[in-house]
Amino acid sequence: METTTFTNLFWDENVTEHVIQSSVIVGENIDKIYKIYLPRIISSSKYVRIIMYIFGYSGNILAFLLWIRKPMLHSSGSYLAALAMSDLAFLILDLLYSLHTEWGINALNVPILCETFTILYHTTQYTSPLLTLGFTTERYIAIKFPLKRKIYCTPKRAITMMIFLVSLSLALYSKLKECVRRKDKLEIWESWIWSTEMAMFLAVPVMILALNMLAIFEIRKSRCTNHFI
């Protein structure tokens, strides 16, 4: 019966709508479709993730240990240490997600853990670009206003800004603390996700790119000035 439903999915529009609505409630039908019709995608995703975990865990741990050392623990080092921890936290949560969806291990079917995981998983995704934006902004200030660097680019200010950015990331997703996209809230869910994803993964990277270009422009202008002097 299940096989017939998935087979009709590709020809019958009504059945397609029914299956999509069911997947909103159940939350895992799409994974079953991939396992039945596209098993290679599931298999490749598993092993690509394993490689990502091997390099990601070791790399982020080493980066964190490097940046928290006293000679490196300046304001920029604080941002980079926090970025390493954010990426490490994301990889840990992604491992739980992979175990649950790809390996068939019920790692998240716990009432409180399920909602908490959903919030934290997206929070770590939002934190990384925001921390990168904070670090890039600080670097631009140091290049554009070198005399004010000691005032604005301090470890204390960096920690305060990091707390604000993490709180902002947490607040952005805490509104939708649900394990499964329920049918009655699907429109709200999609609108919220689209707006936050566009902000975090389009607007923020564009701002980072713009600040980097401005920093390069300031460096080139400074070199030209020194050359004429």
Quick: pLDDT tens for 108-154: 877 778 778 888 998 999 999 999 999 999 999 999 998 888 888 88
| Three-class DSSP category at 221 | helix
What lies within 8 Å, CB to CB, of 206 at 6+ separation is none
Q: ∠120-162-178 over CA atoms, to 5°?
A: 15
**Which domains does the chain show, CATH number per domain?**
38-228 (1.20.1070.10)
Q: Can you give the C-alpha Rg of the chain in angstroms? A: 22
CB 196 within 8 A of CB 127: no
How many CA within 13 A on the CB side of residue 171? 6
Amino acid at 154: T
Express each pLDDT in 173-187 by its tens digit.
665 555 555 566 667
Mean pLDDT of the chain: 80
CA pair distance 165, 94, nearest whole angstrom: 21
CA pair distance 91, 203, nearest whole angstrom: 24
Express each pLDDT in 67-100 by its tens digit.
999 888 788 899 999 999 999 999 999 999 888 8
Amino acid at 160: T
Which pTM does this prediction carry? 0.76
Express each pLDDT in 187-197 by its tens digit.
767 787 888 88
26-51 mean pLDDT: 69
DSSP state letters, 103-162: S---SS-SHHHHHHHHHHHHHHHHHHHHHHHHHHHHHHHHHH-GGGHHHHS-HHHHHHHH
